Amino acid sequence: MKPEIPWAVYQTKFFSLRLDRRVPWILCFLSLAALILFVLHIGVGEYYIAPFDVLNTILGKDLGDENYRFVVMELRMPRAILAWLVGAALGASGAIVQGLTRNPLASPDLTGVTAGASAAAVVFIVILPNTPQGWLPLVAFAGGMFVAVLLYLFAWRGNASMSGDSPIRLILVGIGLSAALGAFVSFALTFGELWYVQNAIMWLSGSVYASDWADIRSVFPWILICLPLAFLTARDLNVLNLGEDIAHGLGAPLTLKRGFLLLLAVALAGVTVTVAGIISFVGLIAPHLARRLVGSLHEGLIPAAAFVGGLVVLLSDLVGRTFMPPTEIPVGIVVSIVGVPFFLYLLWKREKV
Amino acid sequence: MAVQISNMTRTHAPKPILIGALPLCIAALIFAAAVSVAFGAADITLQTVWEAIVSFDKTNANHLIIQTLRFPRVFTAMLVGAALGVTGAIMQGLTRNPLADPGLLGIESGAAFAVVMGIFVFHITSLPVYAVFAFAGATLTALAVYGLGSLGRSGATPFKLTIAGAAFSSLLSSLTTSILMFNQRSLDEARFWLAGSVAGREMRLVLEAAPFFFVGLAAAFLLGRQMTTLSMGEEIARGLGQHVRRIKLACAAVVILLAGSAVALAGPIGFIGLIIPHVVRMFAGVDYRWALPYSALLGAVFLLLSDLAGRMLVRPLEMPVGIMTAAIGGPIFIYLVRWKVKR
């Protein structure tokens, strides 16, 4: 009897891909779940719309209710799409960072993006409240990018004996830098004007509240470029995961590959900051859940982490919107609450390290 | 998947360094304590400090300041700093993860949640009551995390502890944030406590808390040898005949006692538990019989100096020490990492 091969191999002239057989099925399942949630997300709320009416409205049928079109197309759909995109970007980013550092506690936060964005945003909201607040996304993004670059430079040693971009040094420098910036944030939150502080906390806890098509237009190109690039470079992560010495022995140009992967992770996390503030938990759990589903080879793991991330944020936003209306709980907070049962499931299953 | 800590530095520091650094650290501690007592909003000479100890005069304002404000403050800083340094070292050894700190067992987030809940629901306003809430919250959370992390056949593996801790901390801080976001009174009341401070603790409170610290520190130092064995990996420790499960439980108990008392007394002060063990490992290696006492000493020195800096920097205002530890420690830490971590 022939043993079943656990791989699906796709090969063309220019391109070959080897995937765990589970991967395509899992991805299909995750997309289906996302679609169902998507319809629910659009239908449920202050103004209830039945699932089939949602679908019909999206498909352009006129159902005789003036409001349907506006509520579905202008209010809720952009928000649902954005939630999924943000989650997907964070999930993929987290998978990359965990792969790079080989640390289960790693998340996109480690790249300094969130710390930089938080500090910049807090300056903007609490310390300079009279500036036009429309600039906030851009300021946060710039802060995040700046700190990410700074972190890389701090961790970099040109000295031959110091292995230019050691991941452990990156982690530790990241801790130091995040802590220093965190101190600044907490200073502003402790001494700032109460009203602005509350606004800042709101932003820091991450929300996709009141997002519109313009938000999607601004993040979609980035994600469209970065996510596929992440899938394509996933294989490098497998090699890096074998350990420094083996990767060297296999002839991988480590520094270059790591740098590129890190850049992708930073870009993916950074772009979410502009539209959703800081949602940190997704980047941590989505890769863990995905690893449980498809194993730890990154060709499957990165797309799965992206899909899981999207699903988690979409679900969390649905919960946050409907849990105690009319108050909306920011999605970043709900993610942590919803994420815990997932985590317990992870622990309950026999663990692999 | 855990990153090995030991590859950052040589495993065993030479004996002369280990022994020679001890008097240096103790001297630094005494110096930092003396300076902390002397300097502040009112600068007092060291001679007056001495007089306030040996011949206390109730009518002398400086003596009063020293006895009722500075001493409790300095004791608090020393106890809390030592406790955080030691618990950080234990946590990093226990989880074999250089990112671990006492906060990983959910101690800080649990305490913060309990205190904010106390303010929100019961309208508590006094420091000793905060301390009780904080200690209870920290203990319950840590027990929950340890319990969840021990589910399943293999017991409390580093991986599971790490994940359970991260999940629980995140959950509780989210709940805390949502209270603060929607309730302005709680935010106003809690935010100074949440920044972590050693100011304004009464001597009585400090003395009541002190036994907890001493018991915890003594227990931690006694565990040093077992920690060294355990940090080589569970398989090896078991092979050497260690009761791994018991040792881990004992370590967790010490962490809960020490870090719980610390957060009760001073609020959540981050970063010390994270960096002090790294700094200690750079010169003292990974032998916990030495690393734990050094972590205690340096933790205390670092907290004292951070607090002093917080008082001197923005006079007449005071910066909460929890902010200062990260603001000062962050850059120092980055420098050390650049210089020391080779691969």
Between A192-201, A305-314, B145-154, B207-216, the lowest mean confidence (pLDDT) is in B145-154
Q: Which residues 152-191 of A have a C-beta within 8 angstroms of B?
A: 154-155, 157, 161-163, 166, 168-169, 171-173, 175-184, 186-187, 189-190
Q: Does A322 touch chain B (CB under 8 A)?
A: no
- What pLDDT is attached to residue A18? 66
| pLDDT, average across residues B17-33 | 84
| pLDDT, average across residues B240-256 | 86
| Count of domains forming chain A | 1
What is the model's pTM?
0.82
Calculate how close chain B gets to A186, using CA atoms only, in Å.
Answer: 7
Using a CB-CB cut-off of 8 Å, the residues of chain B touching A349 are 152
- Asked if residue A47 is part of any domain, the answer here is yes
Using a CB-CB cut-off of 8 Å, the residues of chain B touching A179 are 270-271, 274, 326, 329-330, 333
Residue B201 CA to residue B64 CA, distance in Å, equals 15
Nearest to A343 among B3, B167, B175 (CB): B167
Residue B221 CA to residue B223 CA, distance in Å, equals 5
- Asked if pLDDT for residue B343 goes beyond 70, the answer is no
Using a CB-CB cut-off of 8 Å, the residues of chain A touching B274 are 175, 179
Between A151-165, B86-100, B215-229, B303-317, the lowest mean confidence (pLDDT) is in A151-165
- What pLDDT is attached to residue A349? 64
Q: Does A340 touch chain B (CB under 8 A)?
A: yes
Who's near A217: CB < 8 A, 6+ residues apart?
none
Q: Does B337 touch chain A (CB under 8 A)?
A: yes
Between A98-107, A174-183, B207-216, B261-270, the lowest mean confidence (pLDDT) is in A98-107
| pLDDT, average across residues B235-253 | 84
Among left, alpha and beta (phi > 0; psi -120 to 50; other), residue B124 is beta
Residue B295 CA to residue A58 CA, distance in Å, equals 62
Residue A205 CA to residue A193 CA, distance in Å, equals 18
What is the pLDDT of chain B when averaged over all its residues?
83
Q: Do A177 and B167 touch (CB under 8 A)?
A: no
Q: Does A105 touch chain B (CB under 8 A)?
A: yes
Residue A331 CA: distances (Å) to CA of A82, A188, B174, B286: 12, 23, 10, 42
Q: Does B322 touch chain A (CB under 8 A)?
A: yes
Backbone φ and ψ for B209, nearest 5 degrees, come out as -80, -25
Instruction: Give the residue carrying structure tokens 């992708």.
Output: A264
| pLDDT, average across residues B203-219 | 89
Domains and CATH numbers, chain B: 6-340 (1.10.3470.10)
- What pLDDT is attached to residue A252? 63
Bridge partners, A11 (sequence order): A16
The first and second tokens of residue A190, run together, are: 């402790």
| pLDDT, average across residues B37-60 | 78
- Asked if residue A2 is part of any domain, the answer here is no
- Is the CB of residue A335 less than 8 Å from the CB of residue A313? yes
Q: Do A183 and B100 touch (CB under 8 A)?
A: no
pLDDT beneath 70, residues of chain A: 1-20, 63, 158-165, 243-245, 247-252, 346-353
Residue A118, domain CATH: 1.10.3470.10
Q: Do B338 and A105 touch (CB under 8 A)?
A: no
Q: Does B283 touch chain A (CB under 8 A)?
A: no
B320-331 b/e (C-beta count within 10 Å ≥ 16 → b): bbbbbbbbbbbe
CA A237 to mean position of chain CA atoms = 18
B275-308 b/e (C-beta count within 10 Å ≥ 16 → b): bbbbbbbbbbbbbbbbbbbbbbbbbbbbbbbbbb
What ipTM describes this predicted complex?
0.79
Residue B169 CA to residue B112 CA, distance in Å, equals 10
- Asked if residue A1 is part of any domain, the answer here is no
Whether the bond into B16 is cis, omega within 30 of 0: no
- What pLDDT is attached to residue B296? 92
Q: Do B319 and A198 touch (CB under 8 A)?
A: no
- Asked if residue A72 is part of any domain, the answer here is yes
**Pairing relationship of beta strands A16-20 and A7-11 according to DSSP bridges:** antiparallel
Nearest to A201 among B177, B325, B342 (CB): B177
Q: Does B326 touch chain A (CB under 8 A)?
A: yes
- What pLDDT is attached to residue A162? 53
For B275-284, the pLDDT digits (tens) are 888 888 888 7
For residue B103, what is the DSSP state? G
- Asked if residue A283 is part of any domain, the answer here is yes
For B63-101, the pLDDT digits (tens) are 888 877 888 889 999 999 999 999 999 988 887 777 778
Burial environment of residue A193 by CB neighbours within 10 A (0 to 12, 13 to 18, 19 or more): exposed
Residue B245 CA to residue B250 CA, distance in Å, equals 9
- Asked if residue A353 is part of any domain, the answer here is no
Q: Do B1 and A104 touch (CB under 8 A)?
A: yes
pLDDT band at B9 (very low <50, low <70, confident <90, very high): very low
The first and second tokens of residue A206, run together, are: 């991450």
The more confident residue out of B184 and B16 is B184
- Is the CB of residue A276 less than 8 Å from the CB of residue A210? no
- Asked if residue A305 is part of any domain, the answer here is yes
Instruction: Give the residue carrying structure tokens 């600068």.
Output: B43
Q: Does B153 touch chain A (CB under 8 A)?
A: yes
Q: Do A340 and B168 touch (CB under 8 A)?
A: yes
Domain housing A219: 7-348
The more confident residue out of A56 and B269 is B269
| pLDDT, average across residues B152-162 | 74
Return the residue in A102, A105, A126, A169 with the most chain B beta carbons within 10 A, the one to mutate for interface testing: A105
For A259-289, the pLDDT digits (tens) are 888 888 888 888 888 888 888 888 888 888 8
- Asked if residue A293 is part of any domain, the answer here is yes
DSSP letters spanning B125-139 = --HHHHHHHHHHHHH
Q: Do A353 and B187 touch (CB under 8 A)?
A: no
Instruction: Provide the residue type at B75 as one letter.
Output: F
The first and second tokens of residue B154, run together, are: 């293999």
Q: Collapse the DSSP code of B157 into the 3-class scheme (helix H, G, I; strand E, B; otherwise coil) and give the result.
A: coil
- What pLDDT is attached to residue A2? 47
| pLDDT, average across residues B41-50 | 77
Q: Does B174 touch chain A (CB under 8 A)?
A: yes
